[in-house]
Chain A
């Protein structure tokens, strides 16, 4: 069985995702998450979570920023917010936030999502032994490696679909470049891309007050891989909606929901062909990154 979670980029599309078969949503919390989405504020969470629950969906929060020393009191206070406490889980990447969760007795709601760092079953087991709910597998693992992690499927999630983060900088990289140039302010925009001078792919770049994120130049897709993992038991897959049209995300949810091992490749190909303007990639699922 698959559980499908959509990492949201807006509020309006959540119902569409539900209708397409999503089991839950992940809301990037404004100011607390590495995300180009700025619409989920903690002040509005109670109402937002209730609305989503009324749709019959699980609700997770994303607070995966790395917090400076001065930011920690605010981060710790976040974990005492009623709206936050009513969520089904909280994605984090800063061990400091997990330490705060331990102190508040909510370690079991925390999901460790450090982007690249969860690359082997033994580290995952260690983190799970700290009492958290689940870990998110590094996107650098091949499908083969994921099948050998030796972790119960309900304790890990995989990044299955969407633009994946390639790097996060604390520096305002776009602003530093445009400083002194006759260029519009590029901060907080979702239409900025970079292209390496000898390559074709366009990489979304997002800068806000705290950091700059560079995303992969193509949309990860892994329908056959997810279906193969489902053969071994439950699989929890995350679809990232950032930079994608809502209908594309919705179609992806529907595809992952309905695909079976026997027709997974055909289903994936149909999804790809439905969006000829979007570049897709298998990421590292088939093409293993080397030492």
Chain B
């Protein structure tokens, strides 16, 4: 078995709002990346107010975590007003890094907020070390986010030869096209993908023609929707390659998704570090099973080991086909004396059903709903309504923010 001195990579999680950012950090993310209400892609994600940014920076400091802020629009001239003030504000809050795609924005960050690291966004589709050296020489970037089109060999060599710490995607949604260079959404909906409005038109259905002859059938239309990335099996290789940061995609994703995915990667990375080498097949199978408990589309392992992109497109309309767990609720409080928890519900569940607790400690403790009470103290047979407060008995101490999930 090959072993090598491994450096601990940063586990970088997405967060669409304050609650998700705190969840990501509680569940083991070393850093979160968030978007403000200006200058950021994913404008439909519930982006952070100035107060939110201050709060998450303070929260992250308590946990020794970092906050990265996406300033990654491909701006038109009209979008640049207020940029310097915004960058100064981020620096004052204690933000660690800004993720940028525009050279002008990168230069402004260096000029107006020199304590911020500047990370070159994947929107620039960096696929070779010459490009990295160019960006370092001319823009003094502090990190490069590699294009998702990179193979493992590309990652190894760019990381070794680029002269700048690298960041690689390990999980989540993938653009089918080179990032930043797609105008499908613009053409179909007039929504600018490079300014946060991507309508994901690549995932729509298309008729395919050769000349005037249609090649598609109505029940089997052409599409370009990518499977999601899932790189548990490449974590060791990426660590061995010296990648500085492992990035999870998904600022639009739910709190449950963030908790589940971050938790699995946190445990897997830590176990690889502890062992100093790749994990055996049984352990990896266990982690893959754990990952299936969160809501993912069909998955593939990206270009890392599949440069021909075989089986990388989803041709059926159903998503989450492999998901085998439902999110039932989040713990609001715990009564040590009564050994009960009040949870805020999300999906229906009934007395007698089996569930498990997902906690930041990484344990997945099973239990049965032996009884449940509503917020008036009345016993219930079934909890049907989302966002209700329900009291349940729990087998061990839980904390606010722990989550309850159920096997399908």
Contacts and interface: CB of A to CB of B under 8 A. Distances in A.
Contact of A72 (B128, B147, B205, B207): B128
Interface in A23-80: 66-72, 76
B103 A140 contact: no
Range of interface residues on B (Cβ < 8 Å) = 35 or more
Nearest to B149: A170
A121 B77 contact: yes
B158 interface: yes
Nearest to B223: A177
Given A94-B128, A291-B196, A123 B149 contact: no
Contact of A69 (B75, B124, B158, B223): B158
Given A140-B183, A191-B210, A119 B134 contact: no
A99 B127 contact: no
B131 interface: yes
Nearest to A169: B177
Contact of B182 (A95, A99, A125, A167): A167
A177 B308 CA distance: 13
B387 interface: no
A166 B138 contact: no
A68 B138 contact: no
B76 A120 contact: yes
B183 A116 contact: yes
A139 interface: yes
Contacts of B181: 114-117, 167-168
Contacts of A126: 103-104, 107
A141 B131 contact: no
Given A170-B178, A173-B313, A177-B208, A94 B190 contact: no
B154 A68 contact: yes
A67 B192 contact: no
A173 B182 CA distance: 15
Given A69-B154, A284-B186, A290-B192, A117 B43 contact: no
B128 A96 contact: yes
B362 interface: no
B191 A194 contact: no
A290 B192 CA distance: 6
Interface stretch (A14-22, A195-203, A242-250, A255-263): A195-203
Interface stretch (A3-11, A82-90, A181-189, A224-232): A181-189
27 contacts: A66-B127, A66-B178, A69-B128, A70-B153, A71-B128, A94-B128, A114-B181, A122-B104, A123-B75, A125-B104, A126-B103, A139-B183, A140-B186, A166-B184, A168-B177, A169-B178, A171-B313, A172-B309, A186-B215, A196-B201, A214-B184, A289-B186, A289-B190, A290-B191, A291-B191, A291-B196, A291-B197
Given A67-B128, A138-B74, A169-B178, 7 more contacts: A68-B127, A95-B130, A127-B103, A145-B77, A166-B184, A176-B313, A191-B211
Interface of A: 66-72, 76, 94-100, 102, 114-117, 119-123, 125-127, 130, 138-141, 145, 148-149, 166-174, 176-178, 183-184, 186, 189, 191-197, 199, 202, 214, 216-217, 284, 287, 289-291
